[in-house]
Amino acid sequence: MLGMEGITNMPRPGAFKTQIPYSYMPFSTDARYIFVSRNPKDCCVSFFHHARRQPGLCFWDGEFNDFFECFIEGDKMPYGDYFDHLLDWYPHRKDSNVFYTKYEDMKRISKCCIESREISG
């Protein structure tokens, strides 16, 4: 199952990965959220290479300069504007049920930094 139906019908407790902006997330005080941000430059380059391997996505045959312009503009990206997403979640980074970390920090630390927070309850 995909989408909201899959989330609604999944066994509890459960986990899922999404890129849904905070304002669209079905929020629950009983849930725990992990918010991972990534350096915009790294995100753009990584997404460009990902998009080139996916014929169904935009830019599979495009040039990086064109992709970069769309990334900065945001509204032409398949998963929405990176900066809007970041700005939507960032104010909640210190909420009691939100664990905020950076992708680059997770890569640097050999045992994922999420373990140190004991977010699993």
The residue with greater pLDDT, 82 or 118, is 82
pLDDT of residue 120: 52
Q: How far is CA 95 from the centre of its chain?
A: 17
pTM: 0.71
* CA pair distance 97, 103, nearest whole angstrom: 19
Inter-axis angle of helices 82-89 and 40-52, to 10 degrees? 130
The residue with greater pLDDT, 67 or 60, is 67
pLDDT of residue 24: 85
* CA pair distance 28, 7, nearest whole angstrom: 13
Whether residue 94 has pLDDT greater than 90:
yes
Whether residue 107 has pLDDT greater than 60:
yes
7-61 residue pLDDT tens: 778 787 877 777 888 998 878 888 889 999 999 999 999 989 888 887 776 666 6
